[in-house]
Amino acid sequence: MKQTRARRGGPLIIAAVLAVFLSACASGGRTDTGSTSNSGSGGGAGDNSGYTIAMITHETPGDTFWDKIKSGATQAAKNYGIDLKYSNDPDPGKQATLIQNAIDSKVDGIATTLATPDALAASVKAAKDAKIPVVAFNSGIDQYQSVGASMYFGSDEKLAGETAGERIAQAGGKNVLCVIQASGSVALETRCAGVKSKAPSTENIQVNGADDSAVVSSLQAKLSQDKSIDYIVTLGAPIALDALKAMDSAGSKAKLVTFDLNADAAKDIKDGKIAFSIDQQPYVQGYMAVTALYLDKKNGNDIGGGGPVLTGPSFVDKSNIGTILPFAQKGTR
């Protein structure tokens, strides 16, 4: 996949990601996690550090995307003998409170998403003031440094949107609908803006990603009203599955593109129902966020030299789905 926007330290960073990720794969696959607290001190192939790390996300309950984040984080915690405390809330104020709770419990490090960076800035500063290292992952690539996180692990969302839009335009897409499932998320807004920069006819639609039936109804109504829509871009695999139902009910002939993968979406790519996915490798994001905090505490290491460590974007389509599908079914890709 073409990556046209260079960021600091790119080639060396990618090599580091691959090296650590291969180590993760060698030591095991998916591990189930709890919704609020998770100990990674059992088993493992490496250190027994005794560190406690808090991972705090804006996960909406029921969104399977986060299972892969947690699986990667849990595997890293097992490898390094870390007690991993996972918590989540899609409400920005409540996520900020979870960060403060982690500070009050005197954890050794905090990994957090920054979907709403302005709402979390004060909490991240409080962690820094308490001398607790903070790394960001998944959301906030353009804001993590100003908020005060030391490292970032995730996809370049602008580049991801641009590459998706470019591919749609090259395939002849004329009227694109981009589906945003969470209000106020800078990552989702940036993805759609990137699509629009290469496919100027792109229109955004806001749906309630926490309610699948509402997503289907909203998309069905839009597709029934506008038959000229020839491409639909969803920003998460569960929303893609809702879109397929809406397309069927509305009799839409549009082609479907999605960000991210789950087992069902991967099978739909293989079956030709989804044209392609733009993957950000969430398992790697979770694994690297925990690993980076461990290395910072253990060895004073700074992965990326302050620049973002990119885990995507990359295309998943019929040309490579045969290789990727088994990993998607395991929950690690």
pLDDT 10s digits, 291-315: 999 999 999 999 998 899 999 998 9
Strand ranges of the sheet holding 309-312, from the earlier edge strand across to the other edge:
38-40, 82-88, 52-57, 109-112, 134-137, 151-155, 309-312
- 196, 177 in Cβ contact below 8 A? no
Q: In terms of Cα–Cα distance, which of 72, 75, 96, 86 is closest to 36?
A: 86
The pLDDT value recorded for residue 157 is 92
The class level of CATH for 10-155+281-313 reads alpha beta
How is residue 51 written in tokens?
A: 């560190």
Q: Which residue has the higher pLDDT, 30 or 195?
A: 195
Name the pLDDT band for 64 (thresholds 50, 70, 90): confident
pLDDT 10s digits, 113-160: 999 999 999 999 999 999 999 999 999 999 999 999 999 999 999 999
- Of all residues in the chain, what percent carry a pLDDT higher than 90? 80
The pLDDT value recorded for residue 306 is 80
Mean per-residue pLDDT, 16-39: 40
3 state SS of 118? helix
Q: Are strands 52-57 and 231-234 parallel, antiparallel or unpaired?
A: unpaired
Mean per-residue pLDDT, 72-99: 97
Asked if pLDDT for residue 245 goes beyond 90, the answer is yes
Among 181-185, 202-206, 232-236, 248-252, name the one with the lowest average pLDDT.
181-185
Asked if pLDDT for residue 176 goes beyond 60, the answer is yes
Q: What is the mean pLDDT of the chain?
A: 88
**Contacts with 48 (C-beta within 8 Å, 6 or more apart), sequence order:** 41, 81
Cα dihedral 158→160→162→166 (10° resolution): 180
- 276, 257 in Cβ contact below 8 A? yes
What are the residue ranges of CATH 3.40.50.2300 in the chain? Answer: 10-155+281-313, 157-279
Name the pLDDT band for 183 (thresholds 50, 70, 90): confident
CB atoms within 10 A of CB 70: 26
The pLDDT value recorded for residue 43 is 41
pLDDT 10s digits, 218-238: 999 999 999 999 999 999 999
Distance of CA 44 to the CA centre of its chain: 25
The class level of CATH for 157-279 reads alpha beta
How many CA within 13 A on the CB side of residue 191?
Answer: 33
Q: In terms of Cα–Cα distance, which of 56, 66, 131, 129 is closest to 94?
A: 56
**Contacts with 14 (C-beta within 8 Å, 6 or more apart), sequence order:** 309, 310
- pTM above 0.85? no
